[in-house]
Structure 1
């Protein structure tokens, strides 16, 4: 059974490891969310995760951290990010449950009317997963932060983010 709680400072090492494993390097290839063909290097570092502690939801199963997401309250909507599931457990509905918990909190506790996120446009498989869960592509693009290695080292020069939106309630 997956349970949810707010992250605390003691979670930082586990969350950094989880996010890194889900998206970068060889371990990320065990799941389907890998960005290893698009980016190398870090996906998150302790400073980034520490800064997100007050807005991060942790998913636990059998006493271990198996997923997470960041959920920020913004003006009229909630922003969903830093979403990760242990690559060895992907495909077992944990990601769907984390997303549902984020939607529930944003809608029921914050009264948010929509959930927004950004996804690398080249991640068609991931965008399709979000579309199956009710998100709509907006066509609104923002540039990838080239030159800021906190987000990794791009392996191509055409990366950009697209905003996806889901109406809540």
Structure 2
């Protein structure tokens, strides 16, 4: 066991992080590299998950923060927090596939919830998850999120979000009270 390893550090992303963040997000969800971890969407959506412009927009938005998580000098996870009135939106969540299953995701989501409460005083965290991702939804439920049954359509035909491999994709809103 390497005793020189340090725990994760959180910071706001900068323009200098865009390329690394796009690579991280893509590796966690799309293509063969994503199959190393359990969050892969490779069997239901092909193509890209995000692009440099999408990541840059989150970084530049006055109502958003793109948290970058580093460990041992490299970016290993990220997530978006967006202030939306009485709640915060949690998105663009990615953990390096080789580190999935080791507890880093739990640390990141807990840190994001704490930051949203402290920064914006919000009472809830919202997120959307592809409704057929039962394993991922179950993971969020174990973290205190609840399914709402409120669905929004998948953006079929907009390849910026990928190329769906099935015709029943939609997003379900998950909500967690932040107490």
In the alignment, which of 34, 40, 51 is matched to residue 45 of structure 1? 51
Over the aligned positions, Cα root-mean-square deviation in angstroms equals 0.6
Q: Give unpaired runs (5+ residues) of structure 1.
A: none
Task: Decide which moves more: 7-16 or 105-114.
Answer: 105-114
2:31 matched residue in structure 1: 25
**1:98-122 Cα shifts (integer Å, max 9, x gaps):** 1011100111221000000000000
Q: Does 1:120 align with 2:120?
A: no
What residue in structure 2 maps to residue 146 of structure 1? 156
What SS does the aligned partner of 1:22 have?
A: helix
Cα distance between partner residues in 1 of 2:39 and 2:124: 24
State the shift of 1:53 in Å.
1.1
Aligned residues: 169
Taking the TM superposition and a 5 Å limit, the aligned residue runs for 1:9-20 are 9-20=15-26
* Equivalent residue in structure 1 for 2:113, among 103, 108, 114: 103
User: Which TM-score applies when normalising by structure 1?
Assistant: 0.99
Structure 2 portions without partners, runs of 5+: 1-6
Correspondence 1:136 to 2:146: yes
Q: After TM superposition, which residue ranges in structure 1, 4 or more long, deviate above 2 angstroms?
A: none
